[in-house]
Structure 1
Amino acid sequence: MTTQLLPPRAVTGLRGAGRLATIVLDWRPVPWSTVVDHYAVYAAPAGAGWRLLAKTVYPHYEHRGLKLAGEEWSYRIVTVDASGTASRPSSSVRVASKVSVTVSGEPLAVVGSFDGKGLELALSPGGYARYPATFPNGVDFRAGTDSPGTGWSYLQPGPSDAWAGRRNHLFRLRFDLAAAPAADVDLALWLIDSHASIPGTAVLSVNGTTVERLAFATGATKGSTIGDSTIPGSPLKPSYVEKPLPRGLFQAGENVLELFKDQGSWIAYDAIGLYARH
């Protein structure tokens, strides 16, 4: 007599959240009575068919490397048990990634290129030991005048970094505006990497007014010596901060944005910029 094996249950609760260049998926795992070999993540971009995107043992997946202009994808999950038997597909979910302000906005002041690389910045890719002598008072950069290759350090240390004196570090970005902005301004701060355990935080200020404390994602630590996160197989872990800043913070004439790194260890820049809304 042959025993008929029942397929595992389909997962439920599939949901997605769009982020910059990334879509994050979560779902409820099947009951522990099912010995799961893996979850198969199937995806379909707009106007195309389903394809196997990834396999994971966790009820979570991050679809990375999406276009900055935003992408829309559909997803469904198939459970595969230890015998190799597959469930029916879960219900599908359609999710769009966010559009970057570097695409939607008009640049007001930009340092570096938003390209996943920090090689155009000072001391990159591995000259951090020269930071204390090169930037004894931190960074004070004027957009449109100073060169990123000499004026903006690729690493901003924190007080946990012995090589930078175990102290706080201030980076200033100065820029001029012909008139006060008519709408809120968007900040784009991209990192190619950050410290793997204590990337810490920095206080963001505009023209002497504290806006908020920015928290940075943990990285891989390799960004202290590798300047390109786009190389195939790169160990770097890029992260992105994009946020609106109230228009009332800005004024005609000179403006100063400050990042005061007073917690944790270093962050490695891709680029930083301010963008006006169309």
Structure 2
Amino acid sequence: MSGRHVRTVTGLRAEGRLGRIVLDWTPVPWDTVVDHYMVYAAPDGGPSRLLAKTVYPHYVHSGLGGNARRFTYEVITVDAAGARSTPSASLAASSQASVTATGSPLAVVGDFDGKGLEFALSPNGYSRYPATFPDGVDFRVGTDAPGIGWSYLHPGPSDSWAGRRTHTLRLRFDLAAVPAGEVWLAIWLIDSHATSPGSAALDVNGTPVDRLRFEGGATRGSLEGDATVPGTRLRPSYLERPLPAGLLTTGENVLTMVKDEGSWIAWDAIGLFEV
């Protein structure tokens, strides 16, 4: 059908973030009864393809991983009769690069791959957490196996299945020397509780660092472990930040997360990287 009477999208804009690109545009005027918008994306050097259909003037292109990736976007309006507009002006945007791609790993648990299936109790064994991890997670890099020693969920005091209490995670790792560069913490989640992801207190070697605040997810990560499946309802999120200088030492180091607010988070991976 001809698109000459259907309003073309204007104001397309993009914000590159870690692992995703956020798209927004100006809604078409009321004289076009919009059924949906069609979002097209073309990776550098590749053909354009239909990425999504949405009723909102907003879309998050997620699951882009740790490397910076560049896409060119166009949006088409589809009205209630099925007629399509001409494409919007194209817009190129890039996601941000992760320290998991640009830094040197110091201590890593998990694969930074959009999956949490390598961890204990995954994908849906959360009811066994209290018996398996009665004192929380205490994991030593290079000695312990993620499939045994690291729970796929880190619960919080809002979780009745985990006793409605605070839960502590300790990540132990050895360093032959203190890193010369800046050290970053990378936390990738495949999902989190939608309305109450909460926060966790972070300290390194007994020194309080900060409070880590988590994004709301889709409340599916307690049952599913792979955010790379097409059409997944999981909602991954990413938290990467530098650590203050002088926290790490030669020999054993201990990073502690105390989940004392909100509900669970579901792990993809965690690591410290020198950049």
TM-score (norm 1): 0.89
Q: Which residue of 2 aligns with 1:196?
A: 194
Distance across 2 between alignment mates of 1:49 and 1:127? 41
Alignment-mate amino acid for residue 94 of structure 2 = A
Unaligned runs of 5+ residues in structure 1 are none
Alignment-mate amino acid for residue 196 of structure 2 = I
Superposed, 1:60-75 pairs within 5 Å as 60-75=58-73
C-alpha deviation, 1:6, in angstroms: 5.6
Structure 1 residues 51, 221: CA separation in 2 closer, same or farther (over 3 Å shift)?
A: closer
Alignment-mate amino acid for residue 240 of structure 2 = E
Deviations 1:21-53 (A, max 9, x none): 321100111122321122222222223444433
- Answering whether residue 121 of structure 2 is matched by residue 96 of structure 1, we say no
Asked if the contact 1:181/1:247 (under 8 Å) is kept, the reply is no
C-alpha deviation, 1:67, in angstroms: 4.2
Q: Which residue of 2 aligns with 1:225?
A: 223
Structure 1 residues 89, 210: CA separation in 2 closer, same or farther (over 3 Å shift)?
A: same
Asked if the contact 2:65/2:113 (under 8 Å) is kept, the reply is no
Unaligned runs of 5+ residues in structure 2 are none
Q: Among residues 171, 174, 189, which one is paired with 1:173 in the alignment? A: 171
Distance across 2 between alignment mates of 1:142 and 1:16? 41
Asked if the contact 1:180/1:251 (under 8 Å) is kept, the reply is yes
C-alpha deviation, 1:66, in angstroms: 2.3
C-alpha deviation, 1:58, in angstroms: 0.7
Alignment-mate amino acid for residue 170 of structure 2 = R
Deviations 1:72-109 (A, max 9, x none): 11112222323444333322221001222222221111
Structure 1 residues 137, 266: CA separation in 2 closer, same or farther (over 3 Å shift)?
A: same
Distance across 1 between alignment mates of 2:34 and 2:186? 41
Superposed, 1:32-47 pairs within 5 Å as 32-47=30-45
Q: Which residue of 1 aligns with 2:104?
A: 106
Alignment-mate amino acid for residue 222 of structure 1 = R
Q: Tell which deviates more after alignment, 243-252 or 265-274.
A: 243-252
Structure 1 residues 233, 73: CA separation in 2 closer, same or farther (over 3 Å shift)?
A: closer
Asked if the contact 1:21/1:67 (under 8 Å) is kept, the reply is yes
Q: Percent identity?
A: 66
Q: Which residue of 2 aligns with 1:208?
A: 206
C-alpha deviation, 1:110, in angstroms: 0.9
Q: Which residue of 1 aligns with 2:142?
A: 144
Asked if the contact 2:10/2:89 (under 8 Å) is kept, the reply is yes
Asked if the contact 1:192/1:239 (under 8 Å) is kept, the reply is yes
Distance across 2 between alignment mates of 1:163 and 1:269? 18
Asked if the contact 1:66/1:97 (under 8 Å) is kept, the reply is yes
Alignment-mate amino acid for residue 211 of structure 2 = R
Secondary structure of 2:135's match? coil
Structure 1 residues 161, 70: CA separation in 2 closer, same or farther (over 3 Å shift)?
A: same
Structure 1 residues 126, 86: CA separation in 2 closer, same or farther (over 3 Å shift)?
A: closer
Secondary structure of 1:248's match? coil
Q: Which residue of 1 aligns with 2:19?
A: 21
Q: Tell which deviates more after alignment, 266-275 or 131-140.
A: 131-140
Runs of 4+ in 1 over 6 A off after TM superposition: none
TM-score (norm 2): 0.90
C-alpha deviation, 1:264, in angstroms: 0.8
Structure 1 residues 115, 33: CA separation in 2 closer, same or farther (over 3 Å shift)?
A: same
Q: Tell which deviates more after alignment, 179-188 or 50-59.
A: 50-59
